Structure 1
Amino acid sequence: MPRIVVLDEITANQIAAGEVVERPASVVKELLENAFDAGASKVSVEIRGGGRDEIKVTDNGCGMDETDSETAFQRHATSKINNINDINDIRSLGFRGEALPSIAAVSKVVLITRPPDTDSGTRLTVQGGRLLSRSPAGCPAGTSIIVSDLFYNTPARLKYMKTKSAESGQISDVVTRLAMARPDISIKLENEGRTSFHSTGTGHYIDALAAVYGAETAKEFIPIEGAEDQVSIKGLIASPLVSRSSKKHITVIINGRYVRNPLINTAVLEGYGTLLTQGRFPLGLISVKLDPGFLDVNVHPSKMVVRISGESKLFNLVKRTVMAALRTEKIIPGFSPEADYGTQRSDYTGSLSVSEKSVPPHPIPEPPQSVFVSPGQVPRVGQTVDHRSLSPMPGLFVPVEKLLETIYPIGFLPPTYILAGSINGLFIIDHHAAHERILYEKFLGMLNNKKVNSQILLVPSVVQLSPREFQIAEGNLDYICSLGIQAQFFGSNSLVIREIPAEMTTVPVEDVLRDLLEYLYESGQPVHREELIKKMATSAACRAAIKSGTKSAMEEAWSIIRGLADADVPYTCPHGRPTMININDHELKTRFKRT
């Protein structure tokens, strides 16, 4: 029978540290929040090796004396609460007393600190949870903590670390989120000695957003404000004209604490409604103030998850506030009463690479019997199907591989459908999805060449990136350049694009670049070139394809149909959605009761 034993303190601390310290970004978050609670007005963060080699956080807060600095490394030692009753009125970011002992349990830590009212400070060295040395130190008022060799004694955790650039990106994300949560504090982030982010600490949310997304993007933000009962909301949301391909650009702050809250995120998305293009998501900063008694922050050691009393009321308040703020002229791009939006064209003006087959002068006669394909042969959403592998059913007048060559346009169904006839009945073609498929295969063929032909831009394009995007770009720039986007670093968190793929001269390459960086960030691991090529071709095709509501001529409909006929996979767009549906002759006769 196994004996039950009490684990020693070092082992227990390393186990508990797993919940608090998941990765280098977790360390940065905990140390920054400690600096905020210490009353700091300036904080600097310096990292090396994606935070695994070294993290240094320095603040000008209240500091600690010799006794408190040593006590701080004991588990559940805190200055924020005194007893269980204080849990219901948490007004600080930290309160559990777990951060420092958890960090020290899995790293080597040097703490240097001094209160403003003393002449001498204290220096402590802790390794693996053990105090190695304590000595007086001459230092500025405040606290500096150096964390090195993170997870040196827990090699299993190192296996789950991502690439250096990905971990740096995670740290940048945490720093920028906390800078938006506390715009009154100046925060600087240095990576390998280079400043990648610096907020001004003016106290204004818009200045914090400008530091994160750039001044031009910040101009597109709309202020929001609402209140109901004892809950108030303030913040900024971006115009629908400014969006991203990820849901993660909504920053939620509750009582000054950055948290993850799917409920508020959903409320923001519902507030935008149909103003956003499918697959695009908004940027926003939502700050909620409520009585601490209605908030439970003691849910998880990371303190990133909270429970809110009356969540449904908060959901409705956020949704209404966002909807009200979006009723402005900012959501109308370049509005002009004289503009003829009925003649709008796709952004893409290049060749569709369609075949030169002659256009039938009149419809092909209807055969005695006609069907398309059996239900089991119809491609499902998300399924990749080669139309040449589909076998025709008995009685099919034209082989399936020749079917698209028999289709001819007969009109349009707003907002985005082409109506086409065939010996196999009526076809309804999604104009955008079909155009997207044609462009995708065109771009894919171009990018799969060993050397992608590039075209020099007459006016280089400067792209302002967020600190997180810049960290990812820094670690993958050669990879991106190999795809024909010739870019160089240009000032703080900026890239200048000098050349773009020759076939993408009318594609918004800046947005494609952001999509690639988001994809690399989400993966966190080295990505095969083939996967990156597919992502780039998909993004470029989606952005360049004709938009819903665009008025088209019959010649364009012919080009789309012929382009599909030449495509390898004509029945779905790159996202897996169908490009067309068919109502066959039998179904039409049944509907009109002619059978």
Structure 2
Amino acid sequence: MSGINIHLLDAQTIGQIAAGEIIERPVSVVKELVENSLDAGAHRIRVDVENGGLGAITVSDDGAGILPEELPLALRRHATSKLAGAGDLFRIESLGFRGEGLASIAAVCRTVLLSRRAESDIGARVTAEGESIAAVEPVAAPVGTRVEARDLFHALPVRREYLRSPGAEFSRISAWLSALALGYPDVAFTLTHDGRTIWSLPPAAQAEHRLAQLFGPAAAARMLPVAAEGQGLRVRGYVSPPSDDKANRSSQYLFVNRRLLRSVQMAAAWTQAYKSALMTGRYPYGAVLLDVDSSEVDVNVHPTKSDVRFRRPALAFDLIRRAIVSALERHAAQRLEQTVLSPLPQRGLTPGVVVIDRRDPAAPPADLALRLAELRAAAVEETGSEANSLRVVLQLANTFIVASDGHDLLVIDQHAAHERVNYERIAERASRGDDPVREPLLLPQIFEVSHGEAATLTELLPQLENVGFTIEPFGERAFRLAATPLDFRARAFDLRAFLDDVLEERADGTFSAQSLWASLACKSSVRAGEALQAAEMEELLRRLFACGDPMHCAHGRPTVLRWSESELTRLFKR
């Protein structure tokens, strides 16, 4: 490379480089054109695709249109109607703003731009390819704009090598457009492929009317509404119940001011809300829409505008998390009412029973534990006796508790149930800021770990101290366990398994205070295969059904299965 002088690149090369950042595949073309249509105030948008987008993509709308004399300018880089100056970058309310979309499409496609304003009797058309823009010519056209992009990457065959089959590329287009439609229920969308209409969405009054298009009718019917607001932010949307999950996060959709995004930061809020409701490696799905003042968010952080930065990220994170948690708690209460139809015998609970006190103003108006107590009291008052109350029948294989109210059959996983009870007790103490009560060990335990584990464990010692452990360094790779939380005195605590869990989660980057509580609750709970007395089983069920989410353990596994009389009748083919 020596001997080559520094020089300015020509316009065509500059255009190809810029286009490479914005136009990655056919769906990128659709995204830029459809967002332009929405910014133009369109009420109807039609997307026609040929050969998965490799042949042609045409987007037509009934928006405001473009003046004939501005058509060539619209195809120039950094020409836009959405910004007047640098100050506008801090209050962007449109989807597009850089003036790069049409120019980037023209750099990699043969492009035809046709438009007509409502005050004009005739439309205008201009064609472009690369940096070459033809003269404007008058044509008959409806009000609105139509952009046709043909032969994607025709001048860059190497880029075509990285695309998938036409069917796979079209699936990306359909999935993205279906997701976007959730944020714009007032706009009609139509998608065709090779001349065949794939789907058409008429305008809808509410976003939930479009959930079935994206998630399927059955899944949409089970989704939970989400709503919360505070300090100038508003969250709304729908999320899946804990009983529904997927193998990845691809079905989690986030809108910020109606902009469809992939925000790692806000996805973490979603994950945090479901922390103890789903099993490891499983993910919830749904759509969450966040409305915030445009001055609170910076959208000029990614070439494809697929991510944003918040001025107060912690506030947005917490509002989304709390909104989803509230929805899950309401769902847990409903499931509990449906599962446990009658109360346990009303005896006094032992000291330390979990009753969660939610004083957060964003929490549901009625405390869940109090509501469940009211339901039990009402049931006893109605029956006038304990004849139909829930009773423990037996312990099955020293692992499951079988109970019945005389009509329905419940099977409870004793380990999962105890884990949920312990988790909520630990979480409640932590939320109140209570100092944990420790029990010194008569004979402190000395244990060794690897060099890598020793470094990690040393960092975690303050957090372990906060939940009741006293662990001290005792050499280069050795540690001394001097005290455990007081509640563990009656159980054999699996220290090595607990540390393995914590160290593994820290290595995977999934460690949090909640995961620490979950591991602590798990390793201090009754085991599968451990025999329980009848009184112990009854007490465990009382504590379980006083929890905020009694239907799942801290790791997301179900705690209770129920078979109604009708279901049992059907199983026996009666």
Q: So what's the TM-score if we normalise by structure 2? A: 0.59
Q: CA deviation at 1:184?
A: 1.6
Q: Residue 13 of structure 2 aligns to which amino acid in structure 1?
A: T
> What is the aligned partner in structure 2 of residue 388 from structure 1?
none
Which residue of 125, 149, 152 maps to 2:151?
149
In structure 2, how many angstroms separate the alpha carbons of the residues matched to 1:287 and 1:133? 43
Q: How many residues align?
A: 357
- RMSD across aligned positions (CA): 2.4
In structure 1, how many angstroms separate the alpha carbons of the residues matched to 2:529 and 2:150? 62
Contact 1:232 1:290 in 2 (8 A): yes
TM-superposition CA deviations, 1:21-43 (whole Å, max 9, x none): 01111110010000000000010
Contact 2:412 2:559 in 1 (8 A): no
In structure 1, how many angstroms separate the alpha carbons of the residues matched to 2:102 and 2:560? 58
Contact 1:415 1:549 in 2 (8 A): no
Q: Structure 1 residues 300 and 329 mapped into 2: Cα distance closer, same or farther (>3 Å)?
A: closer
Which residue of 134, 137, 146 maps to 1:135?
137
Q: Structure 1 residues 550 and 182 mapped into 2: Cα distance closer, same or farther (>3 Å)?
A: closer
Q: CA deviation at 1:164?
A: 1.7
In structure 2, how many angstroms separate the alpha carbons of the residues matched to 1:23 and 1:248? 18
Q: Residue 339 of structure 2 aligns to which amino acid in structure 1?
A: F
> What is the aligned partner in structure 2 of residue 359 from structure 1?
none
Contact 2:15 2:130 in 1 (8 A): no
Q: Structure 1 residues 100 and 416 mapped into 2: Cα distance closer, same or farther (>3 Å)?
A: farther
Q: CA deviation at 1:416?
A: 8.4
Contact 2:175 2:214 in 1 (8 A): no
> What is the aligned partner in structure 1 of residue 423 from structure 2?
none
Q: CA deviation at 1:137?
A: 0.8
Contact 1:416 1:549 in 2 (8 A): no
Q: CA deviation at 1:263?
A: 1.5
> What is the aligned partner in structure 1 of residue 202 from structure 2?
200
Q: CA deviation at 1:93?
A: 0.6
Q: Could you say what secondary structure the match of 1:274 adopts? A: coil
In structure 2, how many angstroms separate the alpha carbons of the residues matched to 1:133 and 1:149? 21
Q: CA deviation at 1:262?
A: 1.2
Alignment map for 1:476-491 (pairs within 5 Å) = none
Contact 1:60 1:142 in 2 (8 A): yes
Q: Could you say what secondary structure the match of 1:341 adopts? A: strand
Alignment map for 1:5-154 (pairs within 5 Å) = 5-154=7-156
In structure 2, how many angstroms separate the alpha carbons of the residues matched to 1:50 and 1:199? 20
Q: Structure 1 residues 416 and 57 mapped into 2: Cα distance closer, same or farther (>3 Å)?
A: farther
In structure 1, how many angstroms separate the alpha carbons of the residues matched to 2:272 and 2:32? 32
In structure 2, how many angstroms separate the alpha carbons of the residues matched to 1:66 and 1:181? 31
> What is the aligned partner in structure 2 of residue 342 from structure 1?
411
Q: CA deviation at 1:148?
A: 0.8
Gaps of 5+ in 2: 342-404, 414-523, 531-556, 562-574
In structure 2, how many angstroms separate the alpha carbons of the residues matched to 1:110 and 1:316? 46
> What is the aligned partner in structure 2 of residue 158 from structure 1?
160
1:332 aligns with 2:335: yes
Q: Structure 1 residues 418 and 44 mapped into 2: Cα distance closer, same or farther (>3 Å)?
A: farther
In structure 1, how many angstroms separate the alpha carbons of the residues matched to 2:165 and 2:529? 46
Alignment map for 1:447-462 (pairs within 5 Å) = none
In structure 1, how many angstroms separate the alpha carbons of the residues matched to 2:330 and 2:201? 28
Contact 2:22 2:104 in 1 (8 A): yes
Q: Could you say what secondary structure the match of 1:86 adopts? A: helix
> What is the aligned partner in structure 2 of residue 529 from structure 1?
none
In structure 2, how many angstroms separate the alpha carbons of the residues matched to 1:19 and 1:197? 30
Q: Structure 1 residues 210 and 415 mapped into 2: Cα distance closer, same or farther (>3 Å)?
A: farther
Q: CA deviation at 1:549?
A: 6.1
In structure 2, how many angstroms separate the alpha carbons of the residues matched to 1:72 and 1:549? 60
Q: CA deviation at 1:241?
A: 2.6
Q: Structure 1 residues 550 and 336 mapped into 2: Cα distance closer, same or farther (>3 Å)?
A: closer
Contact 1:185 1:203 in 2 (8 A): no
In structure 2, how many angstroms separate the alpha carbons of the residues matched to 1:329 and 1:6? 62
Q: CA deviation at 1:318?
A: 1.1
TM-superposition CA deviations, 1:347-371 (whole Å, max 9, x none): xxxxxxxxxxxxxxxxxxxxxxxxx
Contact 1:230 1:290 in 2 (8 A): yes
In structure 2, how many angstroms separate the alpha carbons of the residues matched to 1:210 and 1:342? 33
> What is the aligned partner in structure 1 of residue 474 from structure 2?
none
> What is the aligned partner in structure 1 of residue 243 from structure 2?
241
- Percent identity between matched residues is 33
Gaps of 5+ in 1: 345-412, 420-546, 552-595
Q: CA deviation at 1:201?
A: 2.1
Q: CA deviation at 1:46?
A: 1.1
TM-superposition CA deviations, 1:352-392 (whole Å, max 9, x none): xxxxxxxxxxxxxxxxxxxxxxxxxxxxxxxxxxxxxxxxx
Q: CA deviation at 1:417?
A: 5.2
Q: Structure 1 residues 8 and 55 mapped into 2: Cα distance closer, same or farther (>3 Å)?
A: same
Q: CA deviation at 1:285?
A: 1.1
Q: CA deviation at 1:186?
A: 1.1
Q: Could you say what secondary structure the match of 1:224 adopts? A: strand
Contact 2:241 2:331 in 1 (8 A): no
Q: Residue 163 of structure 2 aligns to which amino acid in structure 1?
A: M
In structure 1, how many angstroms separate the alpha carbons of the residues matched to 2:412 and 2:241? 25
Q: Structure 1 residues 196 and 276 mapped into 2: Cα distance closer, same or farther (>3 Å)?
A: farther
Q: Could you say what secondary structure the match of 2:36 adopts? A: helix
> What is the aligned partner in structure 1 of residue 514 from structure 2?
none
Q: Structure 1 residues 274 and 198 mapped into 2: Cα distance closer, same or farther (>3 Å)?
A: farther
> What is the aligned partner in structure 1 of residue 290 from structure 2?
288
Contact 1:45 1:56 in 2 (8 A): yes
Which residue of 278, 301, 304 maps to 2:303?
301
Q: CA deviation at 1:259?
A: 1.1
Q: Structure 1 residues 335 and 343 mapped into 2: Cα distance closer, same or farther (>3 Å)?
A: closer
Q: CA deviation at 1:81?
A: 0.7
> What is the aligned partner in structure 1 of residue 520 from structure 2?
none
TM-superposition CA deviations, 1:206-248 (whole Å, max 9, x none): 0121222233322112211111212111111122233222211
Q: So what's the TM-score if we normalise by structure 1? A: 0.57
TM-superposition CA deviations, 1:487-511 (whole Å, max 9, x none): xxxxxxxxxxxxxxxxxxxxxxxxx
In structure 2, how many angstroms separate the alpha carbons of the residues matched to 1:117 and 1:60? 13
Q: Could you say what secondary structure the match of 2:111 adopts? A: strand
Q: Could you say what secondary structure the match of 2:63 adopts? A: coil
In structure 2, how many angstroms separate the alpha carbons of the residues matched to 1:293 and 1:306? 12
Q: CA deviation at 1:130?
A: 1.3
In structure 1, how many angstroms separate the alpha carbons of the residues matched to 2:559 and 2:87? 60
In structure 2, how many angstroms separate the alpha carbons of the residues matched to 1:150 and 1:336? 59
Q: Could you say what secondary structure the match of 1:157 adopts? A: helix
> What is the aligned partner in structure 1 of residue 367 from structure 2?
none
In structure 2, how many angstroms separate the alpha carbons of the residues matched to 1:231 and 1:246? 28
Q: Residue 332 of structure 1 aligns to which amino acid in structure 2?
A: R
Q: CA deviation at 1:64?
A: 1.0
